Amino acid sequence: MPSELINNYFRTETLPHIWCPGCGNGIVTRAIVKAIDNLNIPKDDVCIVSGIGCSSRAAGYLDFNTLHTTHGRALAFATGVKLANPKLHVIVITGDGDASAIGGNHLIHSARRNIDITTVVFNNSIYGMTGGQYSPTTPMGDKATTAPYGSIDPNFDLCELANAAGATYVARGTVYAVNILEKVIQEGISNKGFSFIEAIATCPTYYGRKNKKGSAVDMIKFLKEHGVMYTAWQKMSEDEKIGKFPIGKLYTKERKEYTEQYQMLIDSLGKESNQ
Amino acid sequence: MAELKLMQGNEACVMGAIHAGMRFYSGYPITPSTEIAELSAELLPKYGGKFIQMEDEIAGVAAALGASLAGLKSMTATSGPGFSLKQENIGYGIMAEIPIVIVDVQRSGPSTGLPTSPSQGDIMQARWGTHGDHSIIALYPASVKEIYTTTIKAFNLSEKYRTPVILLLDEIIGHMREKIDLEELKNIEIYDRKKPTKSDDKYLAYKVNDGDIVPEMPSFGEGYRFHVTGLVHDETGFPSNNESVADKLLNRLINKIEDNKQDIVNFEEYLLEDSEYAIISFGAISRSSKVAVDKLREQGIKIGMFRPITIWPSPEKEISELSKKVKKIYVVELNAGQYFLEVQRIVSGQCEVRKYGKINGDIIVPQEIISFIKEDIYA
Amino acid sequence: MKKYEIRLTGSGGQGLITGGIILAESAILDGKNALQSQSYGPEARGGASKAEVIISDQEIVFPKITECDLLLSLTNVACNKYIHTLKKGGILVIDSTVDRPEREDIIIYQIPILETANEKLKKAFVANIVALGAINKILNLVSENSLEKAVLKRVPKGTEELNRNALIEGRNLIK
């Protein structure tokens, strides 16, 4: 029997999903739904926009206004949706390749504008849908079908990228630390501005197998052992940080939100022409 | 009372778009289309609409598609290089049936080419630029006034057929200024997308109701919670790998345009009644051809001009009829012979078809058309 | 009235395109047809700039000018580039700083347009309006009233008097 959450928020007629056994995408998708449920946002007021890749298929399974776009362009479509109707809560579901390779330009510019969109990147460090090629977040040295000798490409820290580009809420969660993931997504949706959440997911089928990371359970265990709450992380020495990564809320800042600025422009011109 | 104005072609495009109900513009600056973005930026917020300069050409069309789904009539404008970049998402708009208008103010190419020189080199890119089998609507006006009216028509067709519509302009008509009487253009009819009425609890986002051409289209946030995808989908809107679903959808998308040519196709016939010869020409170059027709007639040659305003779908019936009437058709276009191929296909031997083109960045002047045709006839 | 084709040339930034627009707008105010077009290089300032205006009582079909009835050239570069496009018997208006071209088949007005703007009116940017005043005095293409109206519609607020004077000074350059 599906849970109440599934019944309420998933289009059960579109299930089962396409994801492999052990894939972390379902956990992240559920966390998004739980965050929306916690916030009591009516389903009609939520618009989920996704790109192309395994994670982006989530849009089709969810009972909201859903837009499954082209590869890399979810944020560009989402910008149009949000600016056209600022009342909608726009949430972008995207993968590491979708968001930071082909869609990298839209990511930094959405952050720069501080448009009120919450982006959740399902980061599994690999292109899963096409069968395991290296992405901008594949750790240097790791193998992929297109990096048979180990990748020589340095990898992005997506949270640092989003923060530097101007996102006003930046956080990281993992498919192990589900409560934290839910919490940061919830905070991200509540933030009036561009929120960026990196959800570290697992791909045992391609990334895991290629790099001898063990079973899905082993991969999740790895996340448990290496993800450190940001408060603790800040107290760690540089040596202690090696091989670990911070999770939880990382950065927040105060900036003007884009669609509000545009509305103020419209209002000021309206006043001008009324005079 | 007449409201006479000297208006630039690109300006008329924006004025026509706003008349048609455009309330969203997203794009990226590119010569020679930039005035369309600039004027949209100035006017849209005054109409309560939105303008956004996106980070690239792809984002320009993508945001317009998103805004259309959220309920605003949307437009983007570009030129050849940007038109190439937009192609994938034009295909998305076709597949997901999203009304938008894409303006391509053509310039010389390929690549960066001669950025400030005119060209009609995107005729085939407009038809086949995006991948896969599809039909497309592309309109091409030839005067400032016609840019105004044709932009409105582009919006109307995009709403009526739920499809991206391409408005082809060229550097010449985009940048020239001409007299326009806004008063006589006041009452042009506007078509708005048909929305569902919320009675059906088993709402199917991509079901075409009896008697309709396309599915009804609600906006995001109006309570329908439908799914939009570029994947092949059935009436529910959800992806399907089923062959008969794919066959039905893709043919419906083609046929909604091909079966309604009567409504979509628009053209001008100039002095064709007694003609033994005909020129086919469009956009700015049709103005050169028209002068050539007048001068050739003064010299006793019975010639006329057929000007497609709807470039795609092509006026197949009309061109075929024409080819049965005349001895020869001359396709005069500012490219190496793109529409010529379409005319040749339609005519398929019913009369001779010859092309006159140019690709050096210069306009085709009437005198060269006259010389070419006279030489050909008297050879 | 026959079709009249005018080509305004000089360097980018001299306001020739605005000049062309003003001329076309004044013709429309007079109830005539007008078509204005331009060509430009990649540079916004300097370079050779050209604005074209066609004025006619008839419908204007072909939008470009091949040979013009009147050529205005404010620089030597522009004059050298476009002098061959002036019709036989056509009118050439050049600034006094521009060398007289060797053509016997045209009427030449060599007048201090730039100097008038720079020194008499103390504003280099009104050279285009000075030129319009002179051209219209020569051709009597549009009514002075319409020309003034069109000028005042296009120029920045606060410069109306200056531009009105520029028209007058331009007119006075033609004896």
Strands A169-174 and A245-252: antiparallel
pLDDT given for residue A275 in this prediction:
44
> What integer pLDDT is reported at residue B156 of this predicted model?
98
Residues of chain B contacting A165 with CB distance shorter than 8 Å: none
pLDDT surpassing 80 at residue B335: yes
Residues of C in contact with B291 (CB under 8 A): 61-62
Residue A147 pLDDT greater than 90, yes or no: yes
When pLDDT is cut at 50, 70 and 90, the band that residue A272 belongs to is low
Helix axes C16-29, C144-154, angle to 10 degrees: 130
pLDDT class of B379 with cuts at 50, 70, 90: confident
Instruction: Estimate to the nearest angstrom the gap between the alpha carbon of B259 and the chain centroid.
Output: 18
Chain B: residue whose CA lies nearest to C53:
B177
What does pLDDT average to over chain B?
Answer: 97
Contact A109, A161 (CB under 8 A): no
pLDDT tens digits for range B274-332 = 999 999 999 999 999 999 999 999 999 999 999 999 999 999 999 999 999 999 999 99
- Condensed to tens digits (0 to 9), the pLDDT of residues B6-37 reads 999 999 999 999 999 999 999 999 999 999 99
CA distance A99 to chain B (A): 13
Q: What's the pLDDT band for B2 if we cut at 50, 70, 90? A: confident
pLDDT single digits (tens) C4-63: 999 999 998 899 999 999 999 999 999 999 999 987 655 566 677 899 999 999 999 999
Q: Determine, for residues A273 and B67 on separate chains, whether the beta-carbon distance falls below 8 Å.
A: no
Residue A17 Cα, gap to closest chain B Cα (Å): 12
Q: Can you tell me the mean pLDDT for A190-198?
A: 98
What is the rounded CA–CA span in Å between residue B235 and residue B254?
A: 16
In the prediction, which pLDDT does C125 show?
Answer: 94
pLDDT (0 to 100) of residue A140: 97
For domain C4-172, is the CATH number 3.40.920.10? Answer: yes
Task: Report the pLDDT value the prediction gives residue B370, as an integer from 0 to 100.
Answer: 98
Mean pLDDT of B87-109: 97
- Could you write out the DSSP letters of every residue in B70-105? TT-EEEEEE-HHHHHHHHHHHHHHHHHT--EEEEEE
* pLDDT grade for B202, boundaries at 50, 70 and 90: confident
* Joined tokens for residue B215: 């599915």
CB A105 within 8 A of CB A161: no
Chain B CA closest to residue C63: B287
Alpha carbon distance C35, B286 (integer Å): 16
For A13-35, what is the mean pLDDT? 96
- B225 lies within 8 A of chain A by CB: yes
Per-residue pLDDT reduced to its tens digit, A51-65 = 999 999 999 999 999
CA–CA dist B289, A165 (Å, integer): 53
- How far is residue A145's CA from residue A128's CA, in Å, rounded to a whole number? 11
Q: What is the pLDDT of residue B222?
A: 96
- Residues with Cβ within 8 Å of residue A149, at least 6 apart in sequence: A143
Taking any CB pair shorter than 8 Å as contact, residues of chain C touching chain B are: 21, 24-25, 28, 33-42, 60-64, 66
User: B66, A49 in Cβ contact below 8 A?
Assistant: yes
Contacts of C98 (CB under 8 A, 6+ apart): C73, C74, C75, C76, C79, C110
In chain B, residues with a C-beta closer than 8 Å to the C-beta of A77 are 62-63, 65-66
Would you say the C-alpha torsion B8, B13, B16, B18 has a positive or negative sign? negative
User: What's the rounded mean pLDDT across residues B363-370?
Assistant: 97
Distance from CA of A28 to the nearest CA of B (A): 20
Alpha helices in chain C, H assignment, sequence order: 16-29, 76-82, 113-115, 127-139, 144-154, 160-172
Closest residue, chain C, to B363 (C-alpha): C64
Q: Which of C21, C61, C64 lies closest to B177 in CB terms?
A: C21
Residues B67-95: what's their mean pLDDT? 98
Say which residues have a Cβ less than 8 Å from residue A179's Cβ, sequence separation at least 6.
none
Give the mean pLDDT of C57-72.
96
- Does residue B366 have a pLDDT over 90? yes
**Domain residue spans of chain C:** 4-172
Domains of chain B with CATH codes? 1-264 (3.40.50.970), 268-378 (3.40.50.920)
What CA dihedral angle connects B182, B157, A70 and A27, to 10 degrees?
A: 100
The residue extents of the domains of chain A are 4-274
CB contact under 8 A, C62 and B175: no
Is the minimum CB–CB distance between A11 and chain B shorter than 8 Å? Answer: yes
Chain B contacts in chain A segment 81-100 (CB below 8 A): 81-85, 87-88
pLDDT tens string A100-113: 999 999 999 999 99
Query: Of C65, C126, C57, C60, which is closest to residue C90 (Cα–Cα)?
Result: C65
CATH class of A4-274: alpha beta
- Taking the CA of residue B96 and the nearest CA in chain A, the distance in Å comes to 9
Mean pLDDT of A74-93: 98
Tell me the C-alpha distance between B67 and B75, whole Å.
Answer: 10
pLDDT per position as a tens digit, C95-122: 999 999 999 999 999 999 999 999 999 9
Q: Which residues does chain A have within 8 Å of residue B231's beta carbon, measured at their own beta carbons?
A: 68
